[in-house]
Structure 1
Amino acid sequence: MATGSVVPLLFLARISGLLVAVLVSIWAISFRSSFHHHSSESSPQEDQGITYSVLHPLFMVIGFILISGEAILIHRWLPGSRSLKKSVHLCLQGVALASGIFGIWTKFHGQKGIVANFYSLHSWMGLICILLFGAQWLVGFLSFWHRGEGRTVRQRVLPWHIFLGLYTYGLAVATAETGLLEKLTFLQTKRNMSKRCPESMVVNSLGLGLAFLSGIVILAAVSPKYQPPQQLWATATQLLPRDE
């Protein structure tokens, strides 16, 4: 059970995650026309393209970033055995991975192919992030179902698994930030959108929300685990020198 100083961090993570979900939903639903590059009259094919373009930020932010962040925090608040926590963590990360893959597919669907869309820093970072995340999930899946490895091997791998997990999560947030900047720059230069219009305010607020959320999630993940006073006293007495 989450106790001590971690509780405020978990609360802030949930509030900021909810804010991010609301902002990306408002942006995707209320400003649908911004996700389509053509200005001609709409056709069924164009309407379908808009739908897939709108699904991209929803699945990448809500499905990939928010769910993977919740999976990171599972060990901080979920009661029960370590096996239960690992299984829930693995399932949530699997949902996040599926959402990320589908989100990338929606971006390329109906366009000129992957190569034509693979040109920006945002796309390069996104591909690297998905590959790292998939490799992390595969390693976690294999280690969960095959526990015959020695204890020392698992202890050596665990710090790297935690580091790569937090690194990939931070990379996902950074990739989302570059995507927001790329889209906002396109709208302001190609469509002469005002820099202080409601859509610009929503996108900038979404970027700030993601930056705040990632900091809270990572801080909660690396914060020392809470120990009750009795356990702290027992640990301290064990460290005291003993008379021979």
Structure 2
Amino acid sequence: MEGYKSFLYFLVSSLVLGFTLVIFVLVWVLHYSDGLAWDGGNAEFNWHPVLIITGFIFIEGIAIIVYRLPWTWRCSKLLMKCIHAGLHLTAAILVVVALVAVFDYHNAKNIPNMYSLHSWVGLTVVICFFLQLVFSIIVYLLPCTPLSIRAAFMPIHVYSGLLLFGGVIATSLMGITEKLIFSLRNPAYSSLPPHAVFVNTLGLLIAVFGGLIVWITTRPGWKRPPEEQRPFLSNDNYDNTTEYSKEKSDVELNSEARKRNLKLDEAGQRSTM
């Protein structure tokens, strides 16, 4: 890998920052808000930011960069596909629960659904995410899909994944601002109380985390090498290649010996003539 030390720096930074996001959102709902519950009140709504940040930002970010981890390059491509898809499916489950929580809260409080820009963009991102997830499973996990289709779809798959991740970051920032405006009345959000400072800091950390994930993903030198360029990464492949080389050497030696014998026979026949 090119720039291995730089990669480690960005990877560790993104992991530490991702765990920090989860801690920050838990402190937000447990300390500054009404905690967590499933009772139709504010505590039920709080599951929405917790699960979105944990699943749709942190776990989704890890799913995006999992192919960049050089320690996984010894693993088979199929195993890495399953890990990649499993992380996406985990994020998808958390997102569904988060949506159920917010809709249930709105209905219990007689609050209209789907009226804000945050809800419009958020639902669009979720729908596109599930469409991409289903289509990617069909293309990359089902063995019946031709390799030409997989190769043609790959640039779209990578671009749309990063685009959706950016949409999640933007939607989260809109949702945080919207929640603070509605919930901070006395003191008001405009007076910047400690609650507002803490959650604004959470928003900045979310933006930085998104930037780190995109940077790691878009560096060409940190990309997983193609299968044909990794003959010695696996012990099995190394053994197979070594045996093949030995077999090839034996064949070449036998061929050269036969040629020498043939030349000697021809020389002997000429001398007797």
Please report how far the alpha carbon of residue 81 of structure 1 lies from its aligned counterpart in structure 2 after TM superposition. Answer: 1.6
- State how 1:33-44 maps to structure 2 within 5 Å: 33=34
1:65 aligns with 2:57: yes
Q: Percent identity, please.
A: 27
- State how 1:193-208 maps to structure 2 within 5 Å: 193=188, 195-208=191-204
Q: Any idea what the Cα deviations from partners look like across 1:133-159, whole Å, max 9, x if unmatched?
A: 101110121123322222222111000
Please report how far the alpha carbon of residue 211 of structure 1 lies from its aligned counterpart in structure 2 after TM superposition. Answer: 0.3
Match of 1:116 in 2: 112
- State how 1:1-244 maps to structure 2 within 5 Å: 4=4, 5-33=6-34, 48-77=40-69, 78-79=71-72, 80-112=75-107, 116-188=112-184, 190-193=185-188, 195-226=191-222
* Structure 2: distance between partners of 1:223 and 1:76: 9
Equivalent position SS for 1:27: helix
Higher relative contact order (CA 8 A, sep 6+): 1
Verify the 8 A CA contact 2:68 2:222 in the aligned structure 1.
no
Q: Any idea what the Cα deviations from partners look like across 1:91-116, whole Å, max 9, x if unmatched?
A: 00001011111101100114338992
* Structure 2: distance between partners of 1:128 and 1:67: 20
Verify the 8 A CA contact 2:56 2:91 in the aligned structure 1.
yes
Count of residues in Structure 1 that have an aligned counterpart in Structure 2: 218
Please report how far the alpha carbon of residue 86 of structure 1 lies from its aligned counterpart in structure 2 after TM superposition. Answer: 0.8
Q: Give 2:47's aligned amino acid.
A: L
Distance 1:9 1:219, change over 3 A: same
Please report how far the alpha carbon of residue 76 of structure 1 lies from its aligned counterpart in structure 2 after TM superposition. Answer: 1.1
Larger Rg: 2
Moved more, 95-104 or 72-81: 72-81
Verify the 8 A CA contact 2:14 2:212 in the aligned structure 1.
yes
Equivalent position SS for 2:112: helix
Unpaired runs of at least 5, structure 2:
224-228, 230-273
* Structure 2: distance between partners of 1:107 and 1:136: 23
* Structure 1: distance between partners of 2:60 and 2:151: 23
* Structure 1: distance between partners of 2:29 and 2:58: 16
* Structure 2: distance between partners of 1:15 and 1:138: 30
Verify the 8 A CA contact 2:45 2:105 in the aligned structure 1.
no
Please report how far the alpha carbon of residue 51 of structure 1 lies from its aligned counterpart in structure 2 after TM superposition. Answer: 2.3
Distance 1:59 1:2, change over 3 A: farther
Please report how far the alpha carbon of residue 2 of structure 1 lies from its aligned counterpart in structure 2 after TM superposition. Answer: 9.6
Give TM-score, length-normalised by structure 2. Answer: 0.73
Verify the 8 A CA contact 1:34 1:187 in the aligned structure 2.
no
Aligned-residue CA RMSD in angstroms? 2.6
Distance 1:34 1:91, change over 3 A: closer
* Structure 1: distance between partners of 2:93 and 2:12: 26
Give TM-score, length-normalised by structure 1. Answer: 0.81
* Structure 2: distance between partners of 1:212 and 1:16: 8
* Structure 2: distance between partners of 1:3 and 1:73: 16
Distance 1:2 1:133, change over 3 A: farther
* Structure 1: distance between partners of 2:222 and 2:115: 46
